[in-house]
Amino acid sequence: MAVKVCVLTGYGINADNELVTAFNKVGADAEKVHINDFIENPALLRNYSIAGFAGGFSFGDHLGSGLVYAELFKKNLKDELDRFIADGKLIIGICNGFQVLVKMGVLPNLHGDWTQEVSLVHNNSGVFEDSWVNLKFNPDSPCVWTKGLDTMDVPIRHGEGRFITDSPDIMKRLKEENLIAIRYNDRNPNGSQEDIAGITDTTGRILGLMPHPEAFIFPENHPKWTRKTITEGEGLKIFRNGVSFFGK
């Protein structure tokens, strides 16, 4: 039976179709579910093994990127998401989804109480960054999603992607426990501390990242696809890792 994936959608989300396609291309049974459906019936979350928080500009980012979405989820669905995580299930948040997870306190959640410990703020450049970057994956990270990966080209598209924490202790733990799963390899496009592009939680089952692997799922997505031999969109490797986790 295919692994069931819910890709959360709602006002301002615009990368949900890409994320559904990415999961389905690696054999999952993915579908979009509106956040209001979960708020009305939180137990619906139990029907899925993976939850995907897609990119976009949820609620217009009017109060800050991902903040309204995060507060809605935290107020209405905290118990169900705690159960989801305790049951050994997986979560991925991409771009706006990453912003939602850190502002909910789900990532990195080092204190276990959903207190926000890190944030994603305006790029140092002061402009919306829309380009391709090369990523380096941490081979020592416990992250399920990045297991066995080395480097990868993927696009970025964000205005608030600079990863920060004002706590030296939090940064120390992220580094010592290898929770920094992904770093910008060739250049740091937003000024993130420690070149951080993505982090995981202590279980290794929750990943948040600013770049968009779901936007590189066909060879033709790459800007150099006519000059390089690309047999598969490399972003699929991340989603294949997640889906394969349930077949081990």
Q: What's the confidence (pLDDT) of residue 2?
A: 93
Phi, psi dihedral angles at 132 (to 5 degrees):
-110, 145
For 186-227, the pLDDT digits (tens) are: 999 999 999 999 999 999 999 999 999 999 999 999 999 999
Q: What's the confidence (pLDDT) of residue 70?
A: 86
Does the active-site annotation cover 122?
no
Does the active-site annotation cover 214?
yes
DSSP three-state, residue 209: strand
Which of 158, 212, 222, 234 is the catalytic position?
A: 212
What global pTM score does this model have?
0.95
Does the active-site annotation cover 232?
no
The answer to whether 199 and 211 have CB atoms below 8 angstroms apart is no
Q: What's the confidence (pLDDT) of residue 210?
A: 97
Q: What's the confidence (pLDDT) of residue 68?
A: 81
Q: What's the confidence (pLDDT) of residue 63?
A: 56
What does the pLDDT profile of the chain (248 residues) look like in tens digits? 899 999 999 888 889 999 999 999 999 999 999 999 999 999 999 999 999 999 887 665 665 677 788 888 888 999 999 999 999 999 999 999 999 999 999 999 999 999 999 999 999 998 999 999 999 999 999 999 999 999 999 999 998 999 999 899 999 999 999 999 999 999 999 999 999 999 999 999 999 999 999 999 999 999 999 998 999 999 999 999 999 999 85
Which of 18, 129, 214, 234 is the catalytic position?
A: 214
Residue 99's alpha-carbon distances to 5, 128, 149, 158, in angstroms, are 20, 15, 23, 11
Q: Judge residue 173's burial from the number of C-beta atoms within 10 Å of its C-beta, 0-12 exposed, 13-18 middle, 19 or more buried.
A: middle
DSSP for 37-60, please give it: HHHH-GGGGGG-SEEEE--B-GGG
Which of 95, 117, 143, 234 is the catalytic position?
A: 95
Residue 118's alpha-carbon distances to 103, 115, 151, 216, in angstroms, are 8, 9, 25, 27
